[in-house]
Structures are given as structure tokens and as C-alpha cells.
A and B are shown apart, each in its own frame.
Chain A
């Protein structure tokens, strides 16, 4: 290794093995993935996000929500916990950019939050003050996404519907989500990867009607 050019070339050659495997090859194998038609429903999956949800993805990125929330369902206990009907696969992410898989689960996985929790007001109240809807939650408050003001002659149609005891504390005032909060909720509502795919079918339910995708109404795991 006393020949400098040889050493430099060797370093390039050695580094390029993993570069070829994990940078070039995924592009060859997955770069051309396109939305597919789901056999059971005839729908095209995945569909592109609405403009508002796309703006919400930007809010999610800017505040690094991925620091605490993953968006990936692994086979096994993740499914038992109610975080998804099936594991997530490459097909689920083709409209995401950046793809925010996340690497830490200080909060629950969000790959299917749009199927688990379909109440916009729940999401907004949760962002405003998580402990109002999730007891002793460790999630910080995102109150900078809201404005607080006196209720005028005409109350804002968007104002949060707070739980009664909290609403009393704010008597005469209303909490109104800013555009970013509404966009973020639209994004969260758009997160669901539960269409049955060829490479990731829904687990077969023994001898019942074809699996219907029921949407639990809370963020808490499905009760067994």
C-alpha cells in the first residue's frame, strides 16, 4: 500500500461495492415502480396525495416528526398491535419525497394513522395539547400551529372542539388551527398502506367473508 494511486484506487473500489448495491441497484430494481390496480377493489394504488396533504408532508418534514414516529410496519408484532393490516413494502412509498421511514418509536407508528383515526378534530386537539386526548402522552404540544383569540361576533368554523373541562378554561376564547395544522392533519389522514398487494397480501382471515378494512376510531391499538 505504499503506492498512493493504488491505495486511492483501492479505496474507491472497496467503497463502490456497497454504493453499487445500495444506491445503484435499488434504482434498477425499484426505480420504475408504478401505481398498480388492486385486484379486489379495482382501485389504483397508491394514489397521489391531494395538494393540501402534500403541504402537510412539508410540515411533517420541517418539524422532523420522523424523530419520534416511524412510517413502516414490520411483519409480526406491529400488525398484532394494530399498526397495520399488512407489512409495508416499496410500493407504498412511491409518491413520498422525502421518504420519511423514521428510525425511532417514541411515538406510535404512523404508516396507517389515516385508517386508525379518521376524526380531524381529534388530530387537531391532539396536536394542540396531546394530553387532552392521550393520557400522560410524552408528545410535545404543537401550539405554534394554532392561534388563540377572543370569539368574535361570528365564531370561526375551524375552531377546535375541545373537551368540556378544557373548553371552560378557554371561555370566551377559541383556538383556531393555522393553515399548517390543517395541512398536517390532511397529510396524517392520507397515511394508510393497507391495500392488498400481490407482494404483501392481507393476512388471510380463516373462513369468513373477504376481509373488510375496518377503521378503528381511536389511535389506541385494536383490542383483541
Chain B
């Protein structure tokens, strides 16, 4: 691995897009396809969890499908099945493209991706079998984690080597966010694994570590990756330069420094200074949020981003606005947490962040990148259009009712004379509506898989494979 990028970069001309895409093809298409399949799995398991919220007597015979296990399985399948692989695919491709250099050791990355899928399968299966670690967001049993981290190392080393060998000297904001995300996940998971699972620390220090790791995943890993995609696609598709690199830098460093502190909440059984500092950091998140929003606003320069004509930009625009909304609402958390912390309101905000912001941004990236790798356009625009409609309606139909239900729950909890059971039941109707949202989301996810399968089948069906390979090496796009 060459560390002397500066001297090299002047000597080596950037590789052509076609060369770069050819080097990324196998690992990135594999990562995206398996990410989409895990997305469907997570949505299906999540739908069961959603149904069980208002049908408590559904599927109660076996321990495997009890609500707690199903919920944890769905969220881990989403995080490590879908999110991780989508992020890694985007990282490999974007670091290569923006660095102007072919991907280093694509077969190592592919091998890592295969092992990753096996590890995630073991982890999700382990949760359903009752081996959950008991730490929120990191419920994979201890035996699944080493394989997970080794697989990640394979892929991450390819990404890092590619970055260090880049031939474009000037680095771009998307590269910073992706590199930060590349480090954030293993750092958080290694901390959780070593200090909570292998040799657990004592007492609430565990909770502090868990809250930190969850915040790092949410703000820096998921949020940062979403911003990387948005900062890449918005200027690119609008054909405008990024407004201001300095502001982008400012927003980036503020997110990195503040992100990990935002998981704390008022009244947690932790030292007061920790809670107060966490609340303060949450409020400060307004600044990186504002810097990002203003930078992109100035970049767009009056052109439409939310509801744009271009389908890919439409996904990215929805992701951007969901990101801004979720971050703004989360920054306000210290003000409302006394009433709303443990209600469906928190779940609603998390849903906007994970599904509205992160997932939609990743869909934009997948729809943008896959045709370039396959060397052929999407067979038909309609399924993409329907995916957007179903996914955006799905996000809103989950988040809005849950926010309303959570608000009602919170108001009820404030009054000690209201019976607790009654409070839980006031949220039932919103939860029923949110099940509808989960169904729409599942349908949208199936469309994504269908789109991918159709495109890949058309491109790589055995009879045409040889011809396709030759043609694509000639550089179709």
C-alpha cells in the first residue's frame, strides 16, 4: 500500500470510470443484492413484530417468535444485513470513483462479503434461538461476532487500500464521511464485544457503553453514510459544484465529535455530568445540521431536490429531508425526554432516521450505482417509481401514527392517576396503522429485489454472459 499519495497522484492519471466500475462489479453487486435480500427479511420479521404489538395472542406457541426476540432479530437484520452491506458497497464504489483508482483486491472484498452474510445469518438465527447478548442494537450472540469482525476487516482493508492509492489528490466530503463510517462501526462493535460480552464491565458502565455505541451507529455510521450519499448525488445529479468545502468540513467534524454523546437521556441512572453533557451535545447537533442543510441548499441553488423529476434524486431528496427532520427532532430530545423518552415517540423518531433518512439515501445510491456496474440501464422506470411511492408512504405511515401515539402515551404517563394498562391501550390504534406502513415498506423492499434481479438477469444471464463481459470491458458507460 503506497502512502505517498501526493507524489503518485501527479504521476498517475486517474483511471477511467469503466476500469473502476469493472473492478468494483463483483463485490459491490454482491453486497447490494444481499443487502436488498436482508432488507426484505428484516421487513418481514419486523412486520411480525408490528402485528404482535396489537395482536398479543398471535404466534405465542413457540419461544422463537416471541415479541422481544422478533423485534431484536428484525433490527439486527436491518442494521447488519441491510445497512452494513449497503454502506460497504457504497464505500467501495465511491472511494474508487472519487479517488480515480480501481478497487484494490476486489476478490478479497467479495470473500469478506460472503463471510459477512454467513455471520449475520448466524447472528439473527442466534437471537431467535434465545442467544441474544441482551445489549440493545448489538444483540448478536458472542459466537457470531468474531466472524463478523474478520469479514469486515477484509472489506475495510480493500476500501482503505483503495483510498490510500487514490489518484485524485483533492478529497471530497463524501470520502470523509465514508471513512469515518468505515472506522465507526468496528470501533463501536469491538468496544461492545470486548467490554460487554467477553469481559463485561460492572454495573451501569455497561449501559453507558451501550448508549455510546448505539449513538455512534446512529449518528456517525448510518447518518454519516447517508450524508456521504446525499453530498455525492445532489451536486452530481443537479450538475452543480458543492457550494462550500469549508462548511462541509465544519459539519463533518462537529458530527464526529458530538455524535457519540447524543444517546443519553434525562433521568438515566448515570452520573449527572454525563447526562447533562449528553443533553448539551444533543442540542449542539443543531449546528452541524444547519451547516449541512445550508450547504446543500446553496448547492442546489433553487433547483428542486425534494420531489425532483429524476427518480434517484427523489430518493436522495426524501432521505435528506428525513435526515434533517430526524436530527432536528432528536436535538430537541432533552426538552421533551421527561415525558416522551420511553414511548412510541422515540420509536417514531428512530424510524424516520433509519428508514426515512438512511434507507432512502441508500436506495438512491443503489439505483445510481448498479446500472453503472452492470453496464445497462434499469429495464423499466416504473418499478423504481413504485418503490419510491411505497417506501415513502411506508415511512410516513409508521412514523406519524407512532409519534401521535407516543405523544398520547407520554401525556398519560405524566398523570399518575391514569391506569397504566389504559395508557398502553391508547396507543393501539396508531400501532395498527403503523402495521399498514410496515406492509407498504415490505412491498417496496420486494420491488427493490425484483428490480435488481431483473436487471442482473438481463445483464448476466448465462447465454449472454460472455458477450456481456466482453462488451462491458470495452466501457459501455
Contacts and interface: CB of A to CB of B under 8 A. Distances in A.
Interface of A: 1-5, 7-8, 10-12, 14-15, 17-19, 21-23, 25-27, 29-31, 33, 61-68, 70, 72, 74-78, 80-82, 87-90, 92-94, 96-108, 130, 134-145, 220-221, 224
Given A15-B220, A143-B60, 17 more contacts: A4-B171, A8-B179, A11-B180, A19-B191, A26-B274, A30-B204, A67-B67, A77-B416, A88-B269, A90-B269, A93-B204, A103-B346, A104-B343, A108-B420, A138-B428, A220-B419, A221-B416
Of A90, A93, A99, most B-chain CB atoms within 10 Å: A99
Interface in B253-289: 253, 256-261, 263-264, 266-271, 274, 277, 281
B434 to A, nearest CB: 13
Contacts of A94: 202-203
Interface string B99-137: 000000000000000000000000000000011111110
Contact of B261 (A10, A18, A138): A18
Contacts of B446: none
Contact of B271 (A72, A80, A90, A96): A90
B421 A7 contact: no
Nearest to A105: B342
B68 A72 contact: no
Interface stretch (B18-26, B51-59, B323-331): B51-59
Interface stretch (B162-170, B297-305, B313-321, B390-398): B162-170
B418 to A, nearest CB: 9
Interface of B: 3, 5-6, 52-54, 56-57, 60-63, 66-69, 71-72, 130-136, 139, 163-164, 166, 169-171, 176, 179-180, 183-184, 187, 191, 195-196, 200-212, 215-216, 220, 249, 253, 256-261, 263-264, 266-271, 274, 277, 281, 338, 342-343, 346-347, 409, 413-417, 419-421, 424-425, 428
B135 to A, nearest CB: 6
Which DSSP category, helix, strand, loop or mixed, fits chain B's interface? helix
The majority secondary structure among interface residues of chain A is loop
Contact of A15 (B171, B205, B260, B428): B260
Nearest to B206: A99
B269 A142 contact: no
29 contacts: A4-B163, A7-B179, A11-B179, A15-B216, A17-B260, A18-B260, A18-B261, A18-B281, A22-B212, A22-B264, A26-B204, A26-B205, A26-B271, A29-B271, A31-B202, A63-B66, A66-B68, A66-B134, A66-B136, A72-B268, A77-B416, A90-B270, A99-B207, A100-B134, A106-B424, A108-B420, A138-B428, A144-B63, A145-B63
Contact of A104 (B60, B195, B347): B347
Contacts of A1: 171, 176, 249
